Amino acid sequence: MMASAVPKRKSLMTPLVTTAGVLGIIQGLGWTLCSIVGILFYTEIIPTASTNGIGYSIYSFYLSKEILDKYSESIIGSSQFSYFLYIHLALSLCWLLISSVLLWASITGKGHNFYGKAIGGWTLITGLVSLLDLILVGLISYDYDQYKNKGNADTTEITAIGIVITLAARGFVLWIVNVVFAIILGKYCHKLYKKDVGNRNRPPIDAYATAPVPWLDPSLYNDSGSNDLRPYPEADPIRPYSYTPPARTAKIGKQAGQRSPPLNVAPPFIPDPDYSPPGSPKVKGVLRPKSNYADYNMY
Protein backbone atom coordinates (compact mmCIF):
# COMPACT_ATOMS: atom_id res chain seq x y z
CA MET A 1 0.00 0.00 0.00
CA MET A 2 1.33 3.39 -0.95
CA ALA A 3 1.97 5.94 1.73
CA SER A 4 -1.03 8.14 2.05
CA ALA A 5 -0.09 11.02 4.25
CA VAL A 6 -2.17 14.05 3.41
CA PRO A 7 0.11 17.09 3.22
CA LYS A 8 -0.09 19.70 5.93
CA ARG A 9 -2.13 22.82 5.44
CA LYS A 10 1.00 24.98 5.29
CA SER A 11 2.69 22.68 2.75
CA LEU A 12 3.11 23.79 -0.86
CA MET A 13 1.64 20.51 -2.12
CA THR A 14 -1.81 21.28 -0.73
CA PRO A 15 -2.67 24.13 -3.17
CA LEU A 16 -0.98 22.23 -6.03
CA VAL A 17 -3.03 19.10 -5.44
CA THR A 18 -6.20 21.18 -5.05
CA THR A 19 -5.50 23.02 -8.32
CA ALA A 20 -4.82 19.73 -10.08
CA GLY A 21 -8.15 18.39 -8.88
CA VAL A 22 -10.00 21.47 -10.13
CA LEU A 23 -8.28 21.28 -13.53
CA GLY A 24 -9.08 17.60 -13.84
CA ILE A 25 -12.75 18.13 -13.00
CA ILE A 26 -13.19 20.99 -15.49
CA GLN A 27 -11.35 19.27 -18.32
CA GLY A 28 -12.82 15.86 -17.62
CA LEU A 29 -16.36 17.23 -17.68
CA GLY A 30 -15.77 19.43 -20.74
CA TRP A 31 -14.11 16.78 -22.90
CA THR A 32 -16.65 14.17 -21.83
CA LEU A 33 -19.44 16.35 -23.20
CA CYS A 34 -17.46 17.10 -26.38
CA SER A 35 -16.77 13.40 -26.95
CA ILE A 36 -20.43 12.51 -26.47
CA VAL A 37 -21.56 15.20 -28.91
CA GLY A 38 -18.98 14.06 -31.48
CA ILE A 39 -20.07 10.43 -31.15
CA LEU A 40 -23.72 11.43 -31.57
CA PHE A 41 -22.87 13.31 -34.76
CA TYR A 42 -20.79 10.40 -36.06
CA THR A 43 -23.58 7.90 -35.41
CA GLU A 44 -26.04 10.35 -37.02
CA ILE A 45 -28.22 10.45 -33.92
CA ILE A 46 -27.92 14.22 -34.17
CA PRO A 47 -28.31 15.21 -37.85
CA THR A 48 -26.54 18.21 -39.28
CA ALA A 49 -28.73 20.89 -40.87
CA SER A 50 -26.01 23.17 -42.22
CA THR A 51 -24.38 22.52 -45.58
CA ASN A 52 -21.76 25.23 -45.54
CA GLY A 53 -19.50 27.12 -43.16
CA ILE A 54 -16.79 26.09 -40.70
CA GLY A 55 -19.07 23.78 -38.73
CA TYR A 56 -20.03 21.81 -41.81
CA SER A 57 -16.38 21.57 -42.87
CA ILE A 58 -15.46 20.08 -39.48
CA TYR A 59 -18.34 17.63 -39.80
CA SER A 60 -17.30 16.66 -43.34
CA PHE A 61 -13.67 16.11 -42.37
CA TYR A 62 -14.01 14.19 -39.09
CA LEU A 63 -17.62 13.25 -38.31
CA SER A 64 -19.22 12.24 -41.61
CA LYS A 65 -19.11 8.59 -42.64
CA GLU A 66 -19.19 9.58 -46.31
CA ILE A 67 -15.56 10.21 -47.21
CA LEU A 68 -15.25 12.73 -50.05
CA ASP A 69 -12.66 12.38 -52.79
CA LYS A 70 -10.61 15.37 -51.72
CA TYR A 71 -10.39 14.05 -48.13
CA SER A 72 -9.47 10.47 -49.03
CA GLU A 73 -5.70 11.04 -48.66
CA SER A 74 -6.01 12.23 -45.05
CA ILE A 75 -4.51 10.07 -42.28
CA ILE A 76 -7.27 11.00 -39.84
CA GLY A 77 -10.68 10.34 -41.34
CA SER A 78 -14.06 10.09 -39.70
CA SER A 79 -13.58 6.46 -38.58
CA GLN A 80 -10.10 7.10 -37.14
CA PHE A 81 -11.31 10.26 -35.45
CA SER A 82 -14.20 8.34 -33.87
CA TYR A 83 -11.69 5.96 -32.21
CA PHE A 84 -10.06 8.93 -30.54
CA LEU A 85 -13.49 10.13 -29.42
CA TYR A 86 -14.25 6.83 -27.67
CA ILE A 87 -10.84 6.73 -26.00
CA HIS A 88 -11.18 10.36 -24.90
CA LEU A 89 -14.63 9.61 -23.49
CA ALA A 90 -13.32 6.78 -21.31
CA LEU A 91 -10.26 8.71 -20.13
CA SER A 92 -12.26 11.88 -19.45
CA LEU A 93 -14.76 9.99 -17.28
CA CYS A 94 -11.93 8.42 -15.28
CA TRP A 95 -10.21 11.80 -15.05
CA LEU A 96 -13.40 13.41 -13.75
CA LEU A 97 -13.84 10.71 -11.10
CA ILE A 98 -10.25 10.63 -9.84
CA SER A 99 -10.04 14.44 -9.80
CA SER A 100 -13.20 14.65 -7.68
CA VAL A 101 -11.75 12.19 -5.17
CA LEU A 102 -8.42 14.02 -5.11
CA LEU A 103 -10.07 17.40 -4.61
CA TRP A 104 -12.26 16.08 -1.78
CA ALA A 105 -9.29 14.50 0.01
CA SER A 106 -7.18 17.65 -0.39
CA ILE A 107 -9.84 20.03 0.93
CA THR A 108 -11.21 17.94 3.81
CA GLY A 109 -7.91 16.34 4.82
CA LYS A 110 -9.56 12.91 4.87
CA GLY A 111 -9.01 9.85 2.74
CA HIS A 112 -5.63 8.90 4.22
CA ASN A 113 -6.01 5.33 2.97
CA PHE A 114 -6.24 6.21 -0.72
CA TYR A 115 -4.68 9.68 -0.97
CA GLY A 116 -1.41 8.44 -2.44
CA LYS A 117 -3.24 6.17 -4.87
CA ALA A 118 -5.45 9.07 -5.98
CA ILE A 119 -2.37 11.16 -6.79
CA GLY A 120 -0.83 8.26 -8.70
CA GLY A 121 -4.05 7.66 -10.63
CA TRP A 122 -4.41 11.35 -11.49
CA THR A 123 -0.81 11.47 -12.73
CA LEU A 124 -1.29 8.36 -14.87
CA ILE A 125 -4.53 9.52 -16.48
CA THR A 126 -3.18 13.02 -17.11
CA GLY A 127 -0.11 11.55 -18.77
CA LEU A 128 -2.23 9.29 -21.00
CA VAL A 129 -4.52 12.16 -21.98
CA SER A 130 -1.56 14.41 -22.79
CA LEU A 131 0.07 11.65 -24.86
CA LEU A 132 -3.18 10.98 -26.74
CA ASP A 133 -3.58 14.70 -27.44
CA LEU A 134 -0.02 14.90 -28.72
CA ILE A 135 -0.55 11.99 -31.12
CA LEU A 136 -3.84 13.39 -32.40
CA VAL A 137 -2.38 16.87 -32.89
CA GLY A 138 0.59 15.43 -34.78
CA LEU A 139 -1.61 13.44 -37.17
CA ILE A 140 -4.04 16.27 -37.84
CA SER A 141 -1.16 18.72 -38.31
CA TYR A 142 0.31 16.43 -40.96
CA ASP A 143 -3.02 16.36 -42.79
CA TYR A 144 -3.23 20.13 -42.43
CA ASP A 145 0.11 20.62 -44.17
CA GLN A 146 -0.77 18.16 -46.94
CA TYR A 147 -4.13 19.77 -47.61
CA LYS A 148 -2.75 23.30 -47.45
CA ASN A 149 -0.16 22.57 -50.13
CA LYS A 150 -2.87 21.57 -52.61
CA GLY A 151 -3.92 24.08 -55.17
CA ASN A 152 -7.65 23.70 -54.52
CA ALA A 153 -7.41 24.38 -50.75
CA ASP A 154 -10.34 26.30 -49.37
CA THR A 155 -9.83 28.94 -46.70
CA THR A 156 -12.88 27.83 -44.72
CA GLU A 157 -11.72 24.21 -44.67
CA ILE A 158 -8.19 25.22 -43.63
CA THR A 159 -9.68 27.27 -40.78
CA ALA A 160 -11.84 24.31 -39.73
CA ILE A 161 -8.81 22.01 -39.55
CA GLY A 162 -6.92 24.64 -37.52
CA ILE A 163 -9.81 24.81 -35.03
CA VAL A 164 -9.76 21.02 -34.61
CA ILE A 165 -5.99 21.12 -34.00
CA THR A 166 -6.44 23.80 -31.34
CA LEU A 167 -9.19 21.80 -29.61
CA ALA A 168 -7.11 18.63 -29.72
CA ALA A 169 -4.16 20.48 -28.17
CA ARG A 170 -6.44 22.02 -25.50
CA GLY A 171 -5.37 25.47 -26.57
CA PHE A 172 -1.68 24.45 -26.25
CA VAL A 173 -1.33 26.35 -22.95
CA LEU A 174 -3.64 24.00 -21.07
CA TRP A 175 -1.77 21.01 -22.52
CA ILE A 176 1.52 22.40 -21.15
CA VAL A 177 -0.10 22.99 -17.75
CA ASN A 178 -1.31 19.39 -17.67
CA VAL A 179 2.18 18.09 -18.44
CA VAL A 180 3.76 20.27 -15.74
CA PHE A 181 1.25 19.17 -13.09
CA ALA A 182 1.67 15.54 -14.11
CA ILE A 183 5.44 15.81 -13.61
CA ILE A 184 5.15 17.56 -10.22
CA LEU A 185 2.54 15.17 -8.82
CA GLY A 186 4.41 12.21 -10.31
CA LYS A 187 7.55 13.15 -8.38
CA TYR A 188 5.51 13.64 -5.21
CA CYS A 189 3.84 10.26 -5.70
CA HIS A 190 7.25 8.62 -6.16
CA LYS A 191 8.42 10.26 -2.93
CA LEU A 192 5.42 8.84 -1.08
CA TYR A 193 6.09 5.43 -2.58
CA LYS A 194 9.73 5.42 -1.44
CA LYS A 195 8.66 6.48 2.04
CA ASP A 196 6.12 3.67 2.18
CA VAL A 197 8.68 1.11 0.98
CA GLY A 198 11.06 2.22 3.72
CA ASN A 199 8.34 1.80 6.34
CA ARG A 200 7.39 -1.66 5.06
CA ASN A 201 11.01 -2.87 5.10
CA ARG A 202 11.38 -2.18 8.79
CA PRO A 203 11.39 -5.25 11.05
CA PRO A 204 8.12 -5.82 12.90
CA ILE A 205 7.91 -4.83 16.54
CA ASP A 206 6.92 -7.71 18.83
CA ALA A 207 5.93 -6.23 22.17
CA TYR A 208 5.37 -9.67 23.74
CA ALA A 209 8.68 -11.27 22.77
CA THR A 210 11.23 -12.02 25.52
CA ALA A 211 14.76 -11.31 24.44
CA PRO A 212 17.73 -12.80 26.37
CA VAL A 213 19.48 -10.38 28.69
CA PRO A 214 23.09 -9.76 27.61
CA TRP A 215 25.62 -11.12 30.09
CA LEU A 216 28.90 -9.36 30.83
CA ASP A 217 31.82 -11.02 32.55
CA PRO A 218 32.62 -9.14 35.79
CA SER A 219 36.31 -9.32 34.92
CA LEU A 220 35.63 -7.37 31.73
CA TYR A 221 33.50 -4.73 33.41
CA ASN A 222 35.17 -1.35 33.74
CA ASP A 223 33.36 1.81 34.78
CA SER A 224 36.32 4.11 34.40
CA GLY A 225 34.74 5.66 31.33
CA SER A 226 31.59 6.64 33.18
CA ASN A 227 33.61 7.94 36.11
CA ASP A 228 35.74 10.03 33.80
CA LEU A 229 32.63 11.69 32.43
CA ARG A 230 31.63 12.71 35.96
CA PRO A 231 34.73 14.15 37.68
CA TYR A 232 33.11 14.61 41.10
CA PRO A 233 35.13 14.45 44.35
CA GLU A 234 34.92 11.26 46.31
CA ALA A 235 32.42 11.13 49.18
CA ASP A 236 33.58 11.31 52.82
CA PRO A 237 34.06 7.96 54.56
CA ILE A 238 31.17 6.69 56.65
CA ARG A 239 31.51 7.51 60.33
CA PRO A 240 31.25 4.63 62.83
CA TYR A 241 27.92 4.41 64.60
CA SER A 242 27.31 2.96 68.05
CA TYR A 243 23.92 1.80 69.28
CA THR A 244 24.78 2.36 73.05
CA PRO A 245 23.79 5.79 74.37
CA PRO A 246 26.60 7.99 75.70
CA ALA A 247 27.15 8.01 79.48
CA ARG A 248 25.78 10.99 81.37
CA THR A 249 28.16 12.67 83.79
CA ALA A 250 26.95 14.60 86.84
CA LYS A 251 28.37 17.97 87.74
CA ILE A 252 30.30 17.71 90.99
CA GLY A 253 31.31 20.64 93.16
CA LYS A 254 30.12 24.18 93.62
CA GLN A 255 29.24 25.93 90.46
CA ALA A 256 30.84 29.22 89.77
CA GLY A 257 28.84 32.42 89.91
CA GLN A 258 26.36 34.00 92.38
CA ARG A 259 23.11 32.16 93.07
CA SER A 260 19.81 33.98 93.80
CA PRO A 261 17.99 33.18 97.07
CA PRO A 262 15.12 30.68 96.90
CA LEU A 263 11.62 31.96 96.77
CA ASN A 264 8.80 30.37 98.79
CA VAL A 265 6.07 30.36 96.17
CA ALA A 266 2.69 28.97 97.24
CA PRO A 267 0.79 26.74 94.83
CA PRO A 268 -2.14 28.32 92.93
CA PHE A 269 -5.59 28.24 94.54
CA ILE A 270 -8.00 25.76 92.93
CA PRO A 271 -11.66 26.07 94.04
CA ASP A 272 -13.72 23.04 94.98
CA PRO A 273 -15.82 21.56 92.18
CA ASP A 274 -19.57 22.33 92.06
CA TYR A 275 -21.67 19.13 91.80
CA SER A 276 -25.09 20.81 91.87
CA PRO A 277 -27.44 19.91 88.95
CA PRO A 278 -27.81 22.40 86.09
CA GLY A 279 -31.34 23.48 87.00
CA SER A 280 -30.74 23.93 90.76
CA PRO A 281 -32.10 27.25 92.23
CA LYS A 282 -29.16 27.40 94.59
CA VAL A 283 -27.26 30.56 94.03
CA LYS A 284 -23.59 29.98 93.70
CA GLY A 285 -21.43 31.97 95.94
CA VAL A 286 -19.14 34.50 94.54
CA LEU A 287 -15.65 33.20 94.58
CA ARG A 288 -13.42 35.85 95.83
CA PRO A 289 -10.06 35.76 94.26
CA LYS A 290 -7.30 34.99 96.58
CA SER A 291 -3.75 35.83 96.13
CA ASN A 292 -1.76 33.07 94.58
CA TYR A 293 1.25 34.17 96.41
CA ALA A 294 1.77 34.28 100.17
CA ASP A 295 3.52 37.11 101.85
CA TYR A 296 7.04 36.43 102.69
CA ASN A 297 9.68 38.48 104.42
CA MET A 298 12.98 39.11 102.88
CA TYR A 299 15.86 38.82 105.30
103 with 121: CB under 8 angstroms? Answer: no
Give per-residue pLDDT as tens, 53-109: 888 888 888 888 775 545 567 788 888 899 999 999 999 999 999 999 999 988 887
pTM over 0.75: no
Model pLDDT, residue 33? 95
Comparing CA positions, the residue from 70, 88, 66, 58 lying closest to residue 164 is 58
| CA angle, 83 then 88 then 90, to 5° | 100
Q: How far is CA 56 from CA 46, 48, 159, 160, in A?
A: 13, 8, 12, 9
Whether the pLDDT of residue 262 is over 60: the answer is no
For residue 117, what pLDDT band results from cuts at 50, 70 and 90? confident
Q: Is the pLDDT of residue 1 over 50?
A: no
State the SS3 of the chain: CCCCCCCCCCCCHHHHHHHHHHHHHHHHHHHHHHHHHHHHHHCCCCCCCCCCCHHHHHHHHHHCCCCCHHHCCCCCCHHHHHHHHHHHHHHHHHHHHHHHHHHHHHHHCCCCCCHHHHHHHHHHHHHHHHHHHHHHHHHHHHHHHHHHCCCCCCHHHHHHHHHHHHHHCCCCHHHHHHHHHHHHHHHHHHHHHHHHHHHHCCCCCCCCCCCCCCCCCHHHCCCHHHHHHCCCCCCCCCCCCCCCCCCCCCCCCCCCCCCCCCCCCCCCCCCCCCCCCCCCCCCCCCCCCCCCCCCCCCC
Closest listed residue to residue 105, CA positions, set 187, 194, 97, 130: 97
Q: Tell which wins on pLDDT, 267 or 127.
A: 127
- Under the banding of pLDDT at 50, 70 and 90, the label for residue 223 is low
Is residue 252 scored above 60 in pLDDT? no
Per this entry, what is the length of the chain? 299
pLDDT of residue 86: 96
User: Is a pLDDT exceeding 60 seen at residue 278?
Assistant: yes
The sign of the dihedral angle between the CA atoms of 158, 160, 165, 171 is positive
Average pLDDT over the chain, rounded to whole? Answer: 76
What pLDDT is recorded for position 65?
76
Q: What is the pLDDT of residue 53?
A: 82
The domain locations on the chain are 13-200
CA–CA distances in Å: residue 55 to residues 64, 65, 85, 154, 284: 12, 16, 17, 14, 133
> Which of these CATH numbers, 1.20.58, 1.20.140, 1.10.260, 2.40.300, describes 13-200?
1.20.140
Q: Among 181, 179, 184, 147, which residue's Cα sits nearest to residue 62?
A: 147
Averaged over 164-184, what is the pLDDT? 93
Over residues 208-237, mean pLDDT: 60
